Structure 1
Amino acid sequence: MASYHLSAFTPLPWTLSLFTPTPRFADFSSLNQWLETRCHELAGRRHPTQEASIADVLQLERPHLRPVTMPFDGYVEQLLRKRPARPPSQTA
């Protein structure tokens, strides 16, 4: 069984509480379920610049957001093979 973990991204300050420590999942379904739960938990936190929760601020901003006109497919899996590094004495 494959093990999926989120190690290929540079954490932003707001993601530290979401992805620290780095979670591991048996499959994408488990990952998605965990992400949904964590997002709902974090939405209840106080917004960093407003006197309201993150969810409440989202509701205020929602009418001003652009509509989503097509599905977002930002995941592209590509297998790559890394070439071994050459020692400095062997460079051309």
Structure 2
Amino acid sequence: MLILLNLSLSIIMFMSGVLVFSLKRKHLLCMLLSLEFIVLSLFYMLFLYLMNYNYEYYFTMIFLIFSVCEGVLGLSILVSMVRTHGNDYFQSFNVMRC
């Protein structure tokens, strides 16, 4: 029963992250934060799945390493965009301008 409650909590976390990602598409920082929240909910679901079947947790470390790399890449894109354009609005970002 407890596993079912935790699984429903992680599904609600995932859906709320997807909702925020789709609603806050003006700012890059809000989108990156919602993506990290989605990754956190996926990590929680993976951990619950591995805990339920008594598997090893080595794959969770690999998942965390890839999620940290994804976060660092998004943060570097954000810093680059703020340095070149002055803000993180997608409306002010023009691909054709060098």
- TMscore range, shorter length: 0.3 to 0.5
Q: Which has the higher helix share?
A: 2
TM-score norm. by structure 2 comes to 0.31
Structure showing the higher strand proportion among its residues: 1
TM-score by length of 1: 0.33
